[in-house]
Amino acid sequence: MHDIESSPPRRSFFQLKISSMLFLLLLVGMGLGWWSDHARLTQQLTDSEVDREIQEKLLALTKPRKTSRYVPTRGPHYYAAESPEHFIEQTRNHRSTINASYWGDSLRWAEEDFDVIVPMTCQLLADPNEIVRRNACLVLREQYGKGSDDRMEKHNDQIVGQLRTLLHREDSGGEDARLAIDLLTVIGPSASPAHAELRKIMEDDQHLQAVSATMAMGKILQSDVSPRLVELIEANNPAWERAANSLLEFRTEDEVRDILKHFYASRQTEAERNEVIKAIHHLGR
């Protein structure tokens, strides 16, 4: 007879199934853990490669130049007008933007003629000649932020009304728009009637003056417009470099560098990536 007590115990099918499932779960867990670590390390490696590539290109840009550059400067010249009519005549005739700005600077020294000349200059914003409109913008621009702001308050409504008309022109992405938006920016909160025109330009991702309009809205509404500036960078707006530098008014330099680093990684060509490197290099300068 066989010894029944000495035969090994038989495992049930249920016990085998449980152990197999536990083993399978262990394998799945190990696989998921490996995949998670692999994905994390791959991302870290990619970020490190981007950082290394950016640093190498930045170092190449910071090498000392072989020759120094000399940029000549020109001192201010002040002009004297014989009458308000003479001032307007000269404003119309200036061909150089520099001379128009100097001429505008001289208006700040006018006394009783100031409140006569400003409305006459404002009317030039509707002139059919582009150069005349440009000169009028430059002359009026010189009156803000240099001690004449209080005297300009009574003229702000007329100026803003004319500037809104400029923004409605067919070539709203050109020089007229650039100068008009710059002037609205320095006028500040008093330029709020131009809110609709500025917002329309600001919300157009590819508008040439979208960045300028965004900054103008920030000054007028006294608000943080950095989220829109980031959107314009990510949308590759033609003025994305200016958007990056404008961001420094709201974000730290390190934060802006991180935004540009991600923008760099999204560029498709070497030429586009090099443009981002230059923007990082000149950031805040």
Is residue 138 one of the residues assigned to a domain? Answer: yes
Is residue 206 one of the residues assigned to a domain? Answer: no
Q: State how far Cα 135 lies from the chain centre.
A: 26
Q: pTM score, two decimals?
A: 0.73
Is residue 186 one of the residues assigned to a domain? Answer: yes
81: containing domain = 77-191
pLDDT digit string (tens) for 56-83? 777 776 665 544 332 333 334 445 678 8
pLDDT digit string (tens) for 36-45? 666 665 665 5
142 neighbors 101 (Cβ within 8 angstroms):
yes
Is residue 152 one of the residues assigned to a domain? Answer: yes
What's the pLDDT band for 92 if we cut at 50, 70, 90? very high
What would you measure as the largest C-alpha separation in the chain, in angstroms? 139
Is residue 170 one of the residues assigned to a domain? Answer: yes
Select from 132, 128, 133, 154 the least CA-distant residue to 143: 154
Is residue 162 one of the residues assigned to a domain? Answer: yes
Is residue 263 one of the residues assigned to a domain? Answer: no
pLDDT digit string (tens) for 179-212? 999 999 999 999 999 999 999 999 999 999 999 9
Is residue 16 one of the residues assigned to a domain? Answer: no
Number of domains into which the chain is organized: 1
- 188 vs 192: CA distance, rounded Å: 8
pLDDT at residue 43 in the model: 60
Query: CATH number, domain at 91?
Result: 1.25.40.90
